[in-house]
Structure 1
Amino acid sequence: MLHDLKRHKEPKPAETKPASSLRIYLRLLTYVRPYVPAFAVSIVGFLIFASSQPMLAGILKYFVDGLTNPDAVMFPGVPLLATLPLMKAVPVMIVAIAMWQGVGSYLGNYFLAKVSLGLVHDLRMGLFDSLLRLPNRYFDQTNSGHLISRITFNVTMVTGAATDAIKIVIREGLSVIFLFGYILWMNWKLTLVMLAILPVIGLMVTNASRKFRKQSRKIQAAMGDVTHVASETIQGYRVVRSFGGEEYESRRFRAASADNTNKQLRMVKTGAIYTPALQLVTYAAMAALLFLVLLLRGEASAGDLVAYITAAGLLPKPIRQLSEVSSTIQRGVAGAESIFEQLDEPIEEDRGTVERDRVEGRLEVRDLSFRYPGTDRPVLDGISFSVEPGQMVALVGRSGSGKSTLANLIPRFYHHESGHILIDGVDVEDYTLKNLRRHIALVTQQVTLFNDSVASNIAYGDLAGTPREAVERAARAAFAAEFIERLPQGYDTDIGENGVVLSGGQRQRLAIARALLKDAPVLILDEATSALDTESERHIQAALDRVMRGRTTLVIAHRLSTIEKADVIMVMEQGRIVERGTHAELLARDGHYARLYAMQFAEHGEGAAAGE
């Protein structure tokens, strides 16, 4: 089934022009709204920090002037300080400025970290919650490695843009503003020289930003490939080892990792060239400025010149840091872009309005057809049948005949294009999704268990909080109690990732116990007994005979011996029902079913394998 879904992908939409970095970054900053008070405190902190920069330059003016006039005072006319000489006041002021700067640094860094980490948490939760609401087709078309990479790697890139980048932009940006304002106030003519390099810096920043963003997108894709290969190998480690795939997987992972490394190096190379080039431009302007200071000294004192040169000399550092932050911001923008792509995906469509506490389970399918998006071949073509409550209907046929697709259409994992599926006379499209799926219990061949206790895996989701007695009854009915009670902590035993400590048959029985505990009027068994040994299957079949009373049961048969008691057996071929009847009637017709039955028993003696 999974391979079918992968083949029937929707055509990729035409590539659209990427959103501008500014628009993406502004959207990213909208997530700051819940943290406005903390953000305001951080800005105040960085204002305090930035204001200390020209103070340090200014204090040197008094220090140099004090060398020529030791008796001068710093605060003439100020009570208590009017008699404090410069030589004593300067050291005190330096300590005071350092304390002032420390307060600003603490407020800015700590409260911005609260904002940034909160933003990242909200993004990560938004991504994960969107995964819970996206339609099945999205998962069919997107590999799990890239989905995981978004939640881990891409969000980490956004963390850089939301923490270090914002901190540098605000702190160093304010420092540039304060320092530039100070030297403008001291000598506006000389300061105009500095303005001459701003267009050059702007052009370099724009060009580098474009390259950084392009390279960041490639790094994301490469990182998704690394995660995908690792995830596949971990999940399929038994197949890898059984078929000697270690070298192949190692080569595959090495290629993905090397590709990611090369793309990372290209980005580092861009930054390594860009930063020194920008620094060269800045220091060339500084050299011209120093020349003009000496040439146009005028009546300025030595202290004024030292203060001016010091303030101007402090400018290249924040400008350089602001230039370097471009790569961090572009990585974050690229990460945010892919995150917003997922967040903007339309969620699973739910136009239903009908909600019922309980349904009888009368299932009717009328002229149902379905094809996967982007394909011409119908998977289901004109299917019609009806099932009364308490009846068991079995679907058999070759692989690809559409049996599992039909099972997936009933709980609306996919939307059918024509025809109707009705439960108690109401189209499944008219039920709300949550209400519809509450009436259906589904057990598939691919069992999904969680890294939790046995009891929590049986009483999962809406079933959480079910009394232990009910959980144990469901386990007994599924013939699972006998192995659960032998586990170290019984029902409280953790079973590891996807039930790794259990056998295939044990995992299947837990899945059946979960479905039985749900007590839904409609029961769908998609090859649910395929992983069971003969003895376990016999016990479960007896249990299913009991629980199917009063329920509509749709069984996709893996072993034809398990459906001999079905009220109706339908044989599917290329999306159509080609035969229907009881086991005895179909054998008597000597048609499709009889051939499948004979082939299975000829090969396996007692129906070991067939079906999907």
Structure 2
Amino acid sequence: MYSWKSFFRLIGDTRPSKAKLGIALGLSLISTIGGLVVPLLTRDLVDGFSLQSITPLSVILMVLAFVAQAVSGAVSIYLLNHVGQTVVSRLRDRLWSKLLSLSLPYYNEHRTGDTISRMTNDTAVVRGLISEHISGFVNGVISAIGAIVILLFMDWKMTLITFVAVPLCVAVIAPVGRRLYLISKDTQDETASFTTTLNQALSEIRLVKSSNGERVEYENGQKGITKLLKLGIAEGKMQAIISPLTMFVIMLILVVIIGYGGMRVTQGQMTAGSLVAFILYLFQIIFPVTQVTQFFTQLQKAKGATQRIIETLEAEEEDIHTGEELTRLNEPIVLEELSFSYPGSDEATLERISFRVEPGKVTAIVGPSGGGKTTLFSLVERFYQPTSGVMKLGGTEVSRYSLRSWRGRIGYVSQESPLIAGSIRDNVLYGLERQVTEDELNEALRMAYADIFIRDFPDGMETQVGERGVKLSGGQRQRIAIARAILRNPDLLMLDEATSSLDSKSEAIVQEALSNLMKGRTTLVIAHRLSTVVDADQILFIEKGRITGRGTHAQLYEVHDLYREFADHQLKVRA
């Protein structure tokens, strides 16, 4: 359960400047006091209005009051905005660090758009509360209390008449305000969902267009737009009730006060200047009440945003630094009775997997789709923790080594070979912490056969690859990924169907590049095409989460029926 305490603790963790907050609130107090002085000076001017009554002192006091109110108010608003921007910046920094530290299971359970919304929309709500509404709340409370005190001293009878309308106003507006809060909260949630829809469609725009999915995605987006429209209209209805009602109450109070006050002025019970001052103070009560209402509405929004932010900050994250430092991965990797089930699933994806990967040898993993091959790779990279069983390096459990050093010794080339938006150079050097010379870079590109196509680009290695590398072909992306892996100089190489999506010409080039990369390295290969792994030192056949066969190509061909079927079909077709 999240409370106001959670909200204020979250803000406190960003260490906002107490000095700036103090100065800003102090200046707000000065601005409010200046505003309270003005009606009294106005009263004196109205009551004794003549050229003789306007003394230099009264003019100076009036000017000083206006200047003090304007200057202190301006500086206060600036300081509160500065504090608010600083708080949201530190909060976003903390969230960004957290999001990069979260484990893969978190992203399996949470949509990308919702996660992005935590970073943008929810933190913006918190910033708005601090930079825009706190000042209005403090000023409003001080102004209202000060005005009420002064009015009671000026004319307590008229003041009590004024307050008769306040309970009526609160009784009508409060339920509307609560409804408005619920609508605002639903709008935040729907905005996050709409962001997810947009992100999903635009990030996979090639799939959308190649599948003629424009209509489907348009309809998905239109649903979000329609829901936001309905919520916006509902919010407009509430505003349509609040605004006229508030104006009606204000006008009613003014009519009553002007009528009753005018009668008292004609009877000599009140001066005209006092009536003017009374009306000015009345406005200093009415408008602050609106500011205070807005503050509490925003505070409710901030509470909801805080809940989602705290849920993200409290999510389990990877500790990549704790553990022993692994400098070389040059011993056998041993998996003993390894089982794994995805959270919420009753069915095991992998069940009692055991095998041994010898240093410098090639182990191939083959089998039908959905058998658990990619999940096995994820366990080796320690993206997930096994449900049971253990993985060892030599005789030491790999959990004793830090994630950072373990993954630092692994080179991974996947089927998709994802790239970041940027230049070819940026992508080849991505994630490397050591300095790389131009000679090393050129040698890696040569070994990956990437220099062949890079030379054809006018900008060479500074060529922009586009979002997710869309400006390059599949074979070109693969060769950049291989060059990146070469520069990492990994002890363990993991190839996840690295050539399965390529044409025969690109596959031949990439296969040569992979051969350069595999020399002398411990290698794990997932392959659908048996022709790429028939020479592997060890082949594991996995189906339905279990290893049903192991050995060389020749051994499996003799004893494993399904492997023989795979081999006969693929190798004869390719022949």
Instruction: Tell me the TM-score normalized by structure 1.
Output: 0.86
What's the counterpart of residue 460 of structure 1?
430
Could you say if the C-alpha distance between residues 346 and 201 of structure 1 is closer, same or farther in structure 2, counting changes exceeding 3 Å? farther
Partners of 2:28 and 2:103 in 1: how far apart? 45
Cα separation, 1, equivalents of 2:111 and 2:14: 31
Q: Match for 1:51: what amino acid? A: I
Which of 257, 273, 281 lines up with 1:311 in the alignment?
281
Query: Residue in 2 aligned with 1:390?
Result: 360
> What does 1:538-557 align with in structure 2 at a 5 Å threshold?
538-557=508-527
C-alpha displacement at 1:145, in angstroms?
1.8
Matched, 1:338 2:320: no
Q: Secondary structure at the match of 2:21?
A: helix
- Which residue does the alignment assign to 1:605? 574
Structure 2 residue aligned with 1:241:
209
Pick closer, same or farther for the CA change 1:237–1:91 going to 2, 3 Å.
same
CA distance in 2, matches of 1:203, 1:552: 75
Counterpart position of 2:99: 131
Q: Map 1:410-429 onto structure 2 (within 5 A).
A: 410-429=380-399
Query: Is the CA contact (8 Å cut-off) linking 1:365 and 1:385 kept in structure 2?
Result: yes
Say which is worse superposed, 590-599 or 22-31, in terms of deviation. Answer: 22-31
Q: Which residue of 2 aligns with 1:182?
A: 150
Higher alpha-carbon deviation: 91-100 or 220-229: 91-100
SS in 1 for 2:352: strand
CA contact (8 A) 2:264 2:270 kept: no
Cα distance change of structure 1 residues 522 and 179 upon mapping to structure 2, 3 Å threshold? same
Q: 1:515 to 1:184 in 2, by over 3 A?
A: farther
* Rounded Cα–Cα distance in structure 2 between residues aligned with 1:292 and 1:148: 57
Runs of at least 5 residues in structure 2 that lack an aligned partner in the other structure: none
Indicate the larger mover: 230-239 or 200-209: 200-209
Distance 1:101-1:130 versus aligned 2 partners, 3 A rule: same
Aligned equivalent of 2:21: 39
Q: Is 2:254 the counterpart of 1:253? A: no
Partners of 1:311 and 1:213 in 2: CA distance: 30
Deviates more, 1:215-224 or 1:496-505: 215-224
8 Å contact from structure 1 (residues 396, 572) kept in 2 = yes
Secondary structure (helix, strand or coil) at the match of 1:34 reads coil
Worse overlay, 452-461 or 194-203: 194-203
62, 77, 82: which one pairs with 2:44? 62
Alignment-derived partner of residue 144 in structure 1: 112
Of 342, 349, 354 in structure 1, the residue corresponding to residue 324 of structure 2 is: 354
Counterpart-to-counterpart distance in 2, 1:189 and 1:338:
49
Tell me if 1:371 matches 2:341. Answer: yes
Residue in 1 aligned with 2:239?
271
- Say which SS state the counterpart of residue 554 (structure 1) adopts: strand
Cα deviations across residues 470-495 of structure 1 (Å, max 9, x unaligned)?
A: 22222222221211222222122221
Q: Would the aligned equivalents of 2:350 and 2:372 in 1 still touch at CA under 8 Å?
A: yes
- Mapped contact 1:363–1:421 kept (Cα < 8 A): yes
Q: Match of 1:461, SS?
A: coil
Superposed, 1:165-204 pairs within 5 Å as: 165-188=133-156, 190-194=158-162
How much does 1:592 deviate? Answer: 1.8
Q: AA paired with 2:236?
A: V
SS of the residue aligned with 2:15?
Answer: helix
Alignment of 1:45-56 (within 5 A): 45-56=27-38
- The CA deviation at 1:450 is 1.0
Alpha-carbon distance, 1:359 to partner: 2.6
Structure 1 residue 525 corresponds to structure 2 residue 482:
no
* Paired residue secondary structure (2:432): helix
1:499-552 residue CA offsets vs partner (Å, 9 max, x unmatched): 121111111111122122111211111112223333443343334334334422
Between the aligned partners of 1:184 and 1:343, the Cα distance in structure 2 is: 50
Q: Deviations over 1:391-442 (max 9, x none)?
A: 1100001111010000000121111011111123322222222122112222
Instruction: Kindly provide the amino acid, as one letter, of the partner of residue 326 in structure 2.
Output: R
Q: Are 1:98 and 2:98 counterparts?
A: no
Out of 427, 440, 446, which is 1:476 matched to?
446
Aligned to 1:219: 187
> Contact 1:209/1:327 (CA < 8 Å) preserved in 2?
yes
Q: Report what 1:161 is aligned to.
A: 129
Give me the whole-angstrom Cα distance separating, in 2, the residues matched to 1:202 and 1:184.
21
Native 8 Å contact 2:122 2:309 kept in 1: yes
Quick one: distance in 2 between partners of 1:464 and 1:453?
A: 19
The answer to whether 1:122 aligns with 2:90 is yes
Please identify, of 487-496 and 158-167, the stretch whose mean Cα deviation from structure 2 is larger. 158-167
Deviation at 1:461, TM superposition (A): 1.9
Q: Residue 32 and residue 539 in structure 1: after superposition, are their counterparts in 2 closer, same or farther (change >3 A)? A: closer
What amino acid is aligned across from residue 577 of structure 1 in structure 2? I
Asked if 1:111 is matched to 2:111, the reply is no
Q: How has the CA–CA distance of structure 1 residues 528 and 415 changed in structure 2, closer, same or farther, with 3 Å as cutoff?
A: same
Within the candidate set 547, 566, 569, 1:596 is matched to: 566
CA contact (8 A) 1:39 1:115 kept: yes
Residue 12 (structure 1) aligns with: none
**Residue in structure 1 matched with residue 290 of structure 2 by the alignment:** 320
Q: Is the 8 A contact 1:443 1:524 kept in 2?
A: yes
> Which deviates more from structure 2 when the two are superposed, residues 371-380 or residues 94-103?
94-103
Deviation of 1:124 (Å) = 2.0
Give the superposition deviation at 1:120: 1.8
The alpha carbon displacement at 1:127 in A equals: 2.2
**Aligned Cα RMSD in Å?**
2.7
Native 8 Å contact 1:358 1:439 kept in 2: yes
Alpha-carbon shift at residue 320 of structure 1 (Å): 2.4
Check the 8 A contact 1:43/1:170 in 2, yes or no.
yes
Aligned CA distance change for structure 1 residues 428 and 266 (closer, same or farther; 3 Å):
farther
The CA deviation string for residues 104-157 of structure 1, in whole angstroms up to 9 with x for no partner, is 122111111111111222222222222101111111111112222332333333
Q: Which moved more, 1:464-473 or 1:481-490?
A: 464-473
Identity of aligned residues (%): 32
What's the offset of the Cα at 1:91? 4.0
Q: d(CA) in 1 for partners of 2:108 and 2:410?
A: 22
349 and 463 in structure 1: CA distance in 2 versus 1, 3 angstrom threshold = closer
Tell me, what secondary structure is at the counterpart of 1:86? coil
Residues in 2 aligned to 1:427 and 1:32: alpha-carbon distance in whole angstroms: 38
Cα deviation, residue 178, structure 1: 3.0
Q: Please report how far the alpha carbon of residue 208 of structure 1 lies from its aligned counterpart in structure 2 after TM superposition.
A: 4.2
3-state DSSP of counterpart to 1:63: helix
Give the 3-state SS of the residue equivalent to 2:369 in structure 1.
Answer: coil
Bigger shift: 110-119 or 237-246? 237-246
1:251–1:151 Cα change, 3 Å: same
* 2:128 alignment partner AA: G
Contact 2:478 2:498 in 1 (8 A): yes
1:375 deviation in Å?
Answer: 1.5
Would you say 1:586 and 2:568 are equivalent positions?
no
For the Cα contact (< 8 Å) 2:181–2:297, is it kept in 1? Answer: yes
Distance in 2, Cα, partners of 1:122 & 1:204: 40
CA distance in 2, matches of 1:493, 1:433: 33
Separation in 2 of the partners of 1:24 and 1:268?
31
Seen in structure 2, the aligned counterparts of structure 1 residues 212 and 426 have a Cα distance that, compared at 3 Å, is farther
Q: What secondary structure does 1:145 align onto?
A: helix
Normalised TM-score (structure 2): 0.92
Distance 1:344 1:272, change over 3 A: farther
The letter of the residue matching 1:425 is: G
Q: Does 1:432 align with 2:402?
A: yes
**Counterpart code for 1:213:** Y
Aligned residues: 573
